[in-house]
Structure 1
Amino acid sequence: MIGVGPFSVQVVAVFAAVLLAWMVARLVAKRLPDSPYKATGGMLLDAVFLGGVVARLGYIAQWWEEYAQSPMSMIFIGDQGFSLWVGVLAALAFIWWRTRSIRALRRPLLMGVTAGLLAWSAAVGVLGLLQRSAPPLPALTLATLDEKPVVLNSYTGRPVVLNLWASWCPPCRREMPVFEQAQAQYPDISFVMVNQGESAQQARAFLDAENLQLKDVLLDPASKTMQAVASRGLPTTLFFDEHGRLVDTHLGELSMASLKSTVSRRFAPSQQIKTDKE
């Protein structure tokens, strides 16, 4: 997984894009005659904040059924659930409204937003190229809760959602019911839960205490999987296609909405959600 320190590359790209937008808007406004350029930066940041809130609300509306089942997950923005273009339209509308009496700032602000979007698009493109060249599903020998050996890449042949977790990790514990529900709703996808650094007794005690019925729980007492995928923390979730190729990653807690969104974008329609009619 690619990132800077504890931050994922997506988070770093967002901050870089916002910084570039702010700098471009101020630079262009400063060159205009009699322009109150000092107000430009504040307006740009206000537009970004409003756009972010609306983008989150748009995403919640899109996945309302999932968020309604767990209302507190609406405020956990770490699941990275945002509707980008809904937020962009809201930011542009805000800029248009705020500059109705100072139209000289409209052009610098719009140029700043454009620069930020181009930077974000470029970062997404580079990340996609890096993911396509990422190592495949590791050929590590792990063990089941019954301590029977399992080679991790033996799951190749169907999509795999690989989750790295530990019982001492609060966000890991909170997202476990999401995977329990998902394994029933997506029968054509393997949800492989690889415990990091704990014994079979510790992992089993946690699962029993929480009454979790997870099918593919593996033990990795030496945390070899974290090293193999270059994970920087727990929980980490990686999405591999049926050929064992990495297609997406997520560092931090996943909500059901975020999980379903990634599955719908990354896996084929034949591997989509199982309905009650099936």
Structure 2
Amino acid sequence: MMTYLFHRVLKGALWLLALGVGAAAVAGTGTAPLPFESGSLEKILDSRADKPFLLVMWSLECPPCRKEMDLLAEMRRQHPKLDVVLVSTDEMERADQVAAAVKGHGLEKTESWLFAGPAQRLRYEIDPGWYGEMPRSYFYDANHERVAVSGALEEAQIQAWLEHVHP
């Protein structure tokens, strides 16, 4: 009897653990954004070893950012290989608003982060030459060489980059 009970408890614990691992695997996609802290850029780069991606910095207070997010959603529908990572420079207290904005623009399956520390320090860690203008995007190739772009992206820019990294 005790062995049976032990196995049931163990089975339940393993089931909960599996659910937790599954939830962690999709964290930042369709849920609250992940906290972007010192070292987060390295995590993003490490998770995309040998893979090109587009890092997009944005804010709730940036009208051109919202227009750009609509473009990114459309480009992702047209080009499933387009890997986009969104990083909001808003405060952690606005996580619900950030998640709602991401979902509202059709990007709920996009990895999403939110600044969780002093903005100036995090901006400097991302790019010492970036002073906070937005939108700000970084086109990373498979070797993680990057090209920074300030201002709203245009479809032609994204298309040209995709043709370069996914010939």
Instruction: Give the TM-score band, short-chain normalised.
Output: 0.5 to 0.7
The equivalent of 1:267 in structure 2 is 165
The counterpart of 1:252, out of the listed 147, 151, 159, is 151
CA contact (8 A) 1:163 1:191 kept: yes
Q: CA offset at residue 225 of structure 1?
A: 4.6
Q: How many residues align?
A: 125
% identity of equivalent residues = 24
The letter of the residue matching 1:213 is E
The equivalent of 1:69 in structure 2 is none
The equivalent of 2:99 in structure 1 is 204
User: Which has the higher Rg, Structure 1 or Structure 2?
Assistant: 1
Q: TM-score, normalised by structure 1?
A: 0.40
Q: TM-score, normalised by structure 2?
A: 0.63
The 1-side partners of 2:72 and 2:109 are apart by: 8
Q: CA offset at residue 210 of structure 1?
A: 4.2
Map 1:153-172 to 2 at 5 A.
153=45, 154-172=47-65
The letter of the residue matching 2:142 is E
1:225–1:214 distance in 2 versus 1, CA, 3 Å:
farther
Q: Find out whether 1:218 has 2:116 as its counterpart.
A: no
Q: CA offset at residue 166 of structure 1?
A: 0.7
1:251–1:188 distance in 2 versus 1, CA, 3 Å:
same
Map 1:1-278 to 2 at 5 A.
144=28, 145-146=31-32, 151-153=43-45, 154-199=47-92, 200-222=95-117, 223=119, 225-227=122-124, 228-229=126-127, 230-232=129-131, 233-246=133-146, 248-264=147-163, 266-269=164-167
Kindly provide the CA deviation profile for residues 2-56 of structure 1, in whole angstroms up to 9, marking residues without a partner as x.
xxxxxxxxxxxxxxxxxxxxxxxxxxxxxxxxxxxxxxxxxxxxxxxxxxxxxxx
Q: CA offset at residue 235 of structure 1?
A: 0.6
SS of aligned partner of 1:194: strand
CA contact (8 A) 2:33 2:98 kept: no
1:188–1:208 distance in 2 versus 1, CA, 3 Å:
closer
SS of aligned partner of 1:168: coil
Kindly provide the CA deviation profile for residues 54-75 of structure 1, in whole angstroms up to 9, marking residues without a partner as x.
xxxxxxxxxxxxxxxxxxxxxx
Kindly provide the CA deviation profile for residues 115-136 of structure 1, in whole angstroms up to 9, marking residues without a partner as x.
xxxxxxxxxxxxxxxxxxxxxx
Gaps of 5+ in 2: 1-26
- Provide the aligned C-alpha RMSD in A: 2.5
Flag the structure with higher helix content.
1
CA contact (8 A) 1:195 1:221 kept: no
Gaps of 5+ in 1: 1-142, 270-278
Q: CA offset at residue 155 of structure 1?
A: 2.0
The 1-side partners of 2:103 and 2:166 are apart by: 34
Larger relative contact order (CA 8 Å, sep ≥ 6):
2
CA contact (8 A) 2:73 2:106 kept: no
The letter of the residue matching 1:251 is S
SS of aligned partner of 1:155: coil
1:210–1:188 distance in 2 versus 1, CA, 3 Å:
closer
The 2-side partners of 1:157 and 1:183 are apart by: 20
1:147–1:257 distance in 2 versus 1, CA, 3 Å:
closer
